Structure 1
Amino acid sequence: MTRTALTRDEVLDAAAALVRQHGPAALTMRKLAAELGTAVTSIYWHVGNRESLLDALVERTMEEMGAIRPTGRTPEQRVVSVARRLHRELRTRPQLIAMVHERGLTERMFLPAQQALVHEVHAAGLRGARAAEAVRAVQFQVIGFVLVERNRERSPVQSPGEHELWDEVTAEHDPALARALARPADTEKLFAASVRALVSALLTP
């Protein structure tokens, strides 16, 4: 049965889900209409043509990224909270972020998060070039970490793997270190530790 009631937000939600799962190339008006159980003409009525739909998804992604707000009691905690939220958002929507990048809107997308970081580094007493360095260091740490994670996920199966390479000899007779390095990396824990260390160093007078 064809649906009769449909909202623009529902169309965008379904379109975003398709892009996240299969990439922008998989997003067709016909497939989207099938997902929503409606007619293709209804999709056009709500969002226009496919290019208009993609533009709307890009705008929505930038709005969602702009909604990042710091939490915590100290400037250090609040900077770390922005970094962790930014990392999570980039990880959960890589295909949508790529669409923003392809349209040359990456800098505009990151501006609200950068402004939040500026406010916090000012609160920590940093000004001028040192404040700018802190903001960019945090931003580059987040983006760089995401790129490393994505690269590891896409890389072919390694032979030998880490679990085969680390032993008493390669770990300089530190068996606990060998066991830890032989296990898969906990990237969320590793990101949190690295960003806390970075922010602590950046905000130290």
Structure 2
Amino acid sequence: MTAAHVRAGLTREHVIDAALAMVEREGADALTMRKLAEQLGVTTPTIYWHVGGRDEVLDAALARFAEQHEPQPPASRSPRERIVHLLRQMFEGGLEYPHITKLSTERVGVVHLALPWHRVVANEIASAGLRGEEAGAALHALLYTVGGLVHAALRPQEGDGTSPVTLLADAQPELQAMIRYRPSVYEVFDLVVPPLVTTLIPAAES
């Protein structure tokens, strides 16, 4: 869409979509009201009139992202399989959109992108027969595990000489080899999450 077309029929949706695309592409730090207005071919006050200030724009962009990326539960599977499938969606989405993941963490008090995922996983845990504190503990164990994997995968690598490899340089060769091996985060997900689900969630009755 050209700037002329946007100027002629600018809507709140245009502003939010442009802001979301900018955040997805460059990160929240790159989004300024001036830059957004220039991209849309309007003045900065126009953005304020349609959506509000920068905080309101960011919150609206996160809400739009949540609308576009709702959980997609699989059909005709056991609760265990559905839970693993949902957790994998959540995990892969966090990695696919790192700028959104970072922004949602920073603004978690305003727009909680993970809430729909919490709800569907909680429903699956309940459908497996867990109740009360046992269900709550299982839910949070699974969500914390997946969230921790996403956080670890997106965290910048150590570059200040304090990595485990550097600190344990005098360790035995076998231990050094173990530390140096860096499996992909997808390998770690498959190693940890499905067995954890099997441990925490009862098997479906045949």
**Scaled by the length of structure 1, what TM-score is found?**
0.74
Query: Whole-Å Cα distance in 1 between the matches of residues 55 and 4 of structure 2?
Result: 24
Shift of 1:24: 2.9
Letter aligned with residue 15 of structure 2: V
Residues 105/29 of structure 1: CA separation in 2 closer, same or farther (3 Å cut) = closer
Match of 1:196 in 2: 194
Shift of 1:198: 0.7
Query: What does residue range 138-149 of structure 1 map to in structure 2 within 5 Å?
Result: 138-149=142-153
Inter-CA distance 59–118: structure 2 relative to 1 (3 Å threshold): same
Cα shift at 1:27: 1.4
Q: Which runs of 5+ in 1 are unaligned?
A: 173-177
CA distance in 2, matches of 1:160, 1:57: 38
Which residue is 2:158 aligned to?
Answer: 155
TM-score w.r.t. structure 2 length?
A: 0.74
Q: Deviations over 1:45-95 (max 9, x none)?
A: 432333332231243344456x21322511111101111111223331223
Instruction: Tell me which of 25, 39, 45 is aligned to 2:42.
Output: 39
1:90 and 1:97 in contact (8 A); partners too: no
The residue type equivalent to 1:198 in the other structure is L
Aligned AA for 2:39? Answer: E
| C-alpha distance in structure 2 between counterparts of 1:69 and 1:80, whole Å | 12
Give the Cα separation in 2 of the matches to 1:47 and 1:13. Answer: 12
1:179-198 deviations in Å (ceiling 9; x for gaps): x8755421123213311111
Q: Partners of 2:173 and 2:30 in 1: how far apart?
A: 49
Give me the whole-angstrom Cα distance separating, in 2, the residues matched to 1:114 and 1:56. 21
Equivalent AA in structure 2 for residue 89 of structure 1: G
Alignment of 1:43-192 (within 5 A): 43-64=47-68, 67-72=70-75, 73-91=77-95, 92=97, 93-101=100-108, 104-105=109-110, 108-151=112-155, 153-156=156-159, 169-170=173-174, 182-192=180-190
Paired residues of 1:61 and 1:96 also in contact (CA < 8 A)? no
Pairwise CA distance, 1:171: 5.6
Matches within 5 A, 1:15-34: 15-34=19-38
Tell me the percent identity.
32
Aligned-CA RMSD value = 3.2
